[in-house]
Amino acid sequence: MRPIHRTAALLLALLVTACGLIQVKGNIKTSTTINGVTEEHEVKFDKLEDLPAALNEAGGHLGRSTAALKKALIDAPPPGVVHLRDLSPGLAAYEGKPGLDFLQAAREEWAKAPPPDAAEPFSYVQIGTPTFDQFFKQAAEFHGLTFQVRQAVGQSRKVALALLESPPDAETSLVALVSKALQVPRGGANDALAARLPELQGLLIQSARLAPLVVSRAQGLIGAGQQLVAGAAASITNPKTLLHLDLVKQGMTDSISVIAESATLLGDMVSALAGFSA
């Protein structure tokens, strides 16, 4: 097996105005080293709605290591997939709804042309060791929730702006923007958008309640993951799985990176969602 090492660094400049508008500028740098050759990549972003090429970098690494583990561990339990019902009972109400279940939409888009070396979005491998299986699932849940919340924020802003006749002040917060758009009379060409916005508002309310709780768990989870990597050789007892110990460790390392970057990005979005949590 080729030795593969990955690192990731996240740099953010976060500005919050008096009106609660969140503005984010930053970049995520990643490097992948294969057989001593290192490739570096950098993703820049300057708007909250555009954050996710950043997280996609870490998610892409995790998708590839998950796919590799699925192929290697043929006797392992079947892989799992994260759905909205796995994230919270409040989000479960939106599962399967077009334009609101962004995890399902991402999977449907992926299925049109699935890459041969990447796993289904928001899926996770199981190796038959409960502590590792739970960690892989939690990483997929962090990734899925961050993606879902980011899409909800972006779509809500897009729909609200489409409903308003004149663009709002640049410092208008998301909650104020949505509230103003909800006052637009129904009817006409934008009736479908007007009907969708209350559903998106409900999604934002659920996200605002859940996101801070999830972010607060990140540091402890990352520490637990690092301990699992360090003790993997002793914790994993299946000899067939131990044959692929390096691959399991790489999957864990990628999962830790996804949790760390998801928590950082989700934490930034908490400020934009604050007005919806009341």
Residue 4 domain-assigned (yes or no): no
Residue 89 domain-assigned (yes or no): yes
Residue 72 pLDDT > 50: yes
DSSP 132-174: HHHHHHHHHHHHHHHHHHHHHHHHHHHHHHHH-SSPPPTT--H
Which residue has better confidence, 47 or 169?
Answer: 169
Claim: this prediction has a pTM higher than 0.85: no
Residue 31 pLDDT > 70: no
> In which residue are the tokens 């994260």 written?
82
3-state SS assignment for residue 230: helix
The partner residues of 29 in beta bridges, in order of sequence, read 9, 42
For residues 145 and 143, what is the distance between their CA atoms, to the nearest angstrom?
6
Residue 39 domain-assigned (yes or no): no
CA separation (Å) from 173 to 16, 85, 159, 195?
10, 29, 14, 21
| Domains contained in the chain, number | 1
Residue 17 pLDDT > 70: no
Residue 171 domain-assigned (yes or no): yes
Other CB atoms within a 10 A radius of the CB of residue 224 amount to 14
- Confidence class for position 278, pLDDT limits 50, 70, 90: low
Query: Which strand (E) or helix (H) includes residue 34?
Result: strand 22-34
Residue 65 pLDDT > 50: yes
Q: What is the pLDDT of residue 220?
A: 94
Residue 31 domain-assigned (yes or no): no
Give me the domain span that covers residue 63. 49-276
Residue 123 pLDDT > 50: yes
- Confidence class for position 71, pLDDT limits 50, 70, 90: confident
By CB atoms closer than 10 A (0-12, 13-18, 19+), residue 270 is middle
Residues 6+ apart with CB under 8 A from 205: 276, 277
Which residue has better confidence, 167 or 232?
Answer: 232
| pLDDT tens string 188-198 | 777 888 889 99
